[in-house]
Amino acid sequence: MKIAIGADHRGFQKKEELKPFLKKQGHEVADVGAHSSESCDYPEIGHRLALTVARGDAERGILVCMSGIGMSIVANKTKGIRAALCHNLKFARLSRQHNDANVLVLSAEDLTEPMEAVVDAWLKTPFEGGRHERRVKQIGEIEERQCK
């Protein structure tokens, strides 16, 4: 799977730790920045990653910033993106099972379980469909109305 990955300066180190983990699992990694721990603004990086996933240039995306909140907000401004801030395995799995999240957002400072385990669970958990498919479709319909 091709995975886009991005972070601001506060998430840079975690992003760098994730890249070899993902590659070892056989994933192709597209790094959209930041490329150093020098202070930068997260909105452009979050938007760049969201566009990469929305266009289909990557199947999924992972964003990291200090809290994860800002990256979640900016990613979810892009049509077709369902970004979920997940601090643990339970919510990583639920974001995939129930919401078909295509972008995982992580806090660089507040994960309650090991980062690699959270990412692994998110990548391996399938979307359940069923009643959840109806709800994801409703989210898309709301998005369509708002983007006109």
Catalytic sites, residue numbers:
65, 98
- The domain that holds 99 is classified in CATH as 3.40.1400.10
**Total tally of structural domains belonging to the chain:** 1
pLDDT of residue 146: 86
Question: Domain range for residue 35?
Answer: 2-146
Q: Model-level pTM?
A: 0.97
pLDDT of residue 147: 78
Sequence-distant (≥ 6) Cβ neighbours of residue 104 within 8 angstroms: 60, 61, 62, 63, 83, 84, 86, 92, 95, 118, 119, 122
Question: How many C-alpha atoms does 62 have within 13 Å on its Cβ side?
Answer: 32
Q: What is the mean pLDDT of each successive set of 10 residues along the chain, which is 148 residues long? A: 98 98 98 97 98 98 97 97 98 98 97 95 97 94 86
